[in-house]
Amino acid sequence: MIRIILVLLFIFKISASFSHSQLSEILPKDNVTYVKVPSQINMKFNSLVKLVKIVMIRVDKKEKINLDLTSLNDRAKEHTLPMPKLSSGKYRIEWRALSPDGHIIKGKSDFEVK
């Protein structure tokens, strides 16, 4: 009985270590309209990841917005960047991150500023 429990615990530990990283929260939130823009871009993950790309695009004008990337950590569960000044319009944040298992994960967040 003890052997069975130990084997099951070992299998569970292995399967948990192979699960892929996921974004658990992003600010600005996807599909939200803001009157007051958040002061930061904030991304939270369920494991340590390295952001390998993050860009902001003003979708309605097809223009790239410069981001200050100096505050990015190498590998972290949470990444925070200062929010640039934004005028009214539709925006998209596109990102890519490297998870601990070597897989690239990616996503986007579309939001609007009134």
Q: Is the CATH number 2.60.40.1220 carried by domain 21-113?
A: yes
DSSP annotation of 28: S
Low-confidence ranges of the chain (pLDDT < 50): 14-16
Task: Evaluate if pTM is beyond 0.85.
Answer: no
Question: Which pLDDT value is given to residue 71?
Answer: 83
Question: Which pLDDT value is given to residue 91?
Answer: 98
Phi-psi map region of 69: left, alpha, beta (phi>0 left; psi -120 to 50 alpha): alpha
- Residue-range domain boundaries for the chain: 21-113
Question: Which pLDDT value is given to residue 15?
Answer: 47
How far is Cα 12 from Cα 112, in angstroms, rounded to an integer? 42
